[in-house]
Amino acid sequence: MSENENNNEIAHEDSNELILQRHENMRKLVNEGIDPFTGDSFTGIQSIDFVKANFVDGASSRIAGRIMAQRLMGKTIFLDLKDFSGRMQLYVKKDFIGEKGFNIFKIFDIGDIIGVDGTLFKTHSGEVTVLVKEFKFLSKSLHPLPEKWHGLKDVEVRYRERYTDLIVNDTTRDIFKKRIKIIQSIRNYLNDKSFLEVETPMMHSIAGGAAGKPFKTHHETLDMALFLRIAPEIYLKKLLVGGFEKIYEINRSFRNEGISTRHNPEFTMIEIYEAYSDCEGMMRLTEDMIRTVARLTIGTEVFEYQGRTIDLTHWKRVSFRDLMKQNFDINVEDPMEMWADKLKKNGVDVPSGKLSKTQLVKIIGDLVEPKEETHPVFVVDMFKEISPLAKEKKDEPGITARFELFMGGMEIANAYSELNDPIDQKKRFIEQVKEDPDARIDDDFIHALEYGMPPAGGLGIGIDRLTMILTNAPSIREVILFPQLRG
């Protein structure tokens, strides 16, 4: 047996002994007349952070949480209690709660959940503490917390057992608090600008609205194939046709593709549409909204992300058309069949055989995305061939009014002046079908456009990736509560 296997075996045996001890302590609680999993409530509590922020010496306090530390000192016990907001020290004295109550406290385990009533005071070191007068046992922890016997260091275990990760890792908890605040700040920003939040279907009869491989499902009653949405774009544009002029949806979308530090099959994004706006309007909204959200959630517009400085006070633009010409000698008028050949001539490893448009777009996207910039970068002047839903610039054939936003070396957002010409849109759908035999023309969307859609700007922002940037998280799994993992 290797040293590592031997250590794992010892850790497993130690954990089993601790679990058995906790079951024994549970039996002791039952013998004392205490239900270890009481269904009773413990209402009227205050958060620990609130109590600390509003400290008054001698004031009554009622808090609840999980025991995180215990220190027995003769006729007194010190405990650390943790709720969602923070930690608080408890001071348990036999003279105040009686011998029976004191003995019950002695059989509590780290991880148990209790509620206490008491009075506030500060120790000699200035720590706010609750002198416990009464208590109520609320729930028994039958497993030792990870830090007690092997530590929660394995990344896979942290993601798979997110509940324990949240208990013992304050950094993880802080990331998700910030994620919640980021989403709230985005909502407040848009609501203040008179945008309306809407909800659209998550099951689509046609997989569309973005490039990506869909998840397939089947509706039994209707006996029809359906797809989990790749993006909500088509439905949101139908709402523009219907007269909803400023709308957004914070949505869950799904793509049946790879898993990496930047990709999860199920992800969150926001799509925003504004009638009578355009790509430039979306660019201004994107910059102002992200800067506002950063100030509200992390308190600054200049911060560190994975060893580099991100400065939101200055935003740059680079031309996709210029990047393609300079790096690969690909011109806007070149047919897509030539792209692979020119990429190969410029030393790019391109798979053999005929490449789909989606494959080419992915290869080129990886090559041209700004990876080292400290400022946010708008990549503009995108080719029409890779922008089937974007409006073409009138004075620049083959170039669309579209941008992709990059921060910290990642694509964060995509936006364009929306194509509202049903004739042109149908032609582009037909070209897509020629390229991809699995693609289908969305006739209902064309029908909607034929009623007239106002000129509009549309924007999509990846919430997970934006959260990564603003919390300095190296992987998308760090900002998704329950990321997809292998079985």
Q: Which two tokens stand for residue 34?
A: 């205490």
Q: Which two tokens stand for residue 221?
A: 């009653």
The candidate with the shortest Cα–Cα distance to 270, out of 247, 240, 298, is: 247
Rounded Cα gap, residues 290 and 305, in angstroms: 15
Supply the Cα-derived Rg of the chain in whole angstroms. Answer: 29
Rounded Cα gap, residues 477 and 468, in angstroms: 9
Rounded Cα gap, residues 330 and 346, in angstroms: 10
Q: Assign residue 383 a region: left if phi > 0, alpha if psi is -120 to 50, beta otherwise?
A: beta
Q: Is 280 one of the annotated binding-site residues?
A: no
Task: Judge contact between 398 and 332, C-beta under 8 A.
Answer: yes
Q: Is 450 one of the annotated binding-site residues?
A: no
Task: Judge contact between 140 and 26, C-beta under 8 A.
Answer: yes
DSSP 3-state helix, strand, coil percentages of the chain (rounded to 5)? 35, 25, 35
Task: Determine the Cα angle at 89 with ends 87 and 90, to 5°.
Answer: 130
Q: CB neighbours of 386 closer than 8 A, spacing ≥ 6?
A: 357, 360, 361, 364
User: Which residues is 162 bridged to in the sheet?
Assistant: none
DSSP state of 340: H
Q: What is the DSSP string of 373-396?
A: -SS-EEEE-EEGGG-TTBPBPTTS
Residue ranges at the known binding site for Mg(2+): 404, 411
Residue ranges at the known binding site: 404, 411
